[in-house]
Amino acid sequence: MQKKTQKLTVYVIVGLLIISLVGTSFMFLGDMRPTVGKNYQDQINSLKQALEANPQDTQIRLSLADTYYDWGMQTLSQDMSEENLGATTSILQQAVAEYQEVLKTEKNVNILVDMATAAFYTSQNELADQTFQEALQEDPNFYNGLYNYGVFLYSQGNYGKAIEQWEKALTVENISKDNQDRLERNIKLAQEGIVQQFQQSGNGDSPDSNSEAK
């Protein structure tokens, strides 16, 4: 029960940011591949059959991972209740497992960010952190990576580092006005978090270096 409560708290924190983690295959803001008249379970069953016939086909496995990811994120966006956590976590854990298999033979920043995002939502925080960092080593200016890593860091109370990611995301070329406004709102929330940490510390020292904006 404690783990479920912790996961629910993370989801609520992200919800309070009035943002959504963005992914190459899914965005809460509506950028999701069409289901072509099928439900997610039907798609997964078809992809599993195709993978059994062609177990070395990386693209089929990637499609399977993306479908698990889309399904889990859509389920989460529709229902953040504690009762829904078990099913959502199981779906996203399958996405992580399939992405890990894909990354053995094909590595790119899109796959890394989606796997890190799914890992975050299944409370695999160490894996999420490592994979976000690996993605940003591949492409330091990848907007989705900077944005999502900032959300992850914010959820861990590491507000200063979250601000660093979001401020860098603001410098990415050709970001939309909506994304710019969202980033600026997130930065303000993180700055407020730093102030709250300072006030809660009960002394005159500056906030912990892990939470201090650079």
Residue 5 pLDDT > 90: no
The pair of three-digit structure tokens given for residue 157, joined into one six-digit string: 């109370």
Q: Which helix (H) or strand (E) holds 147?
A: helix 143-155
**pTM score above 0.75:** yes
Residue ranges covered by each domain of the chain: 2-148
Residues 44, 54, 131, 184, CA torsion sign: negative
Neighbours of 167 (CB within 10 A): 17
Radius of gyration of the CA atoms of the chain, in A: 18
- The whole-number pLDDT of residue 10 equals 52
- For 34-47, what is the mean pLDDT? 76
Q: Is the pLDDT of residue 20 over 60?
A: no
88: pLDDT strictly greater than 50: yes
3-state secondary structure of 90: helix
State mean pLDDT over 55-59: 95
pLDDT at 83: 73
Show the tokens assigned to 42: 């039907």
The Cα–Cα gap between 157 and 150 comes to: 11
Place of tokens 């993605």: 135
Please give the average per-residue pLDDT across 122-127, as a whole number: 94
Tell me the per-residue pLDDT of 164-183, one tens digit each, with 9 for 90 and over.
999 999 999 889 999 999 89
Average pLDDT for residues 153-174, to the nearest whole number?
Answer: 94
Superfamily of domain covering 2-148 = Tetratricopeptide repeat domain (1.25.40.10)
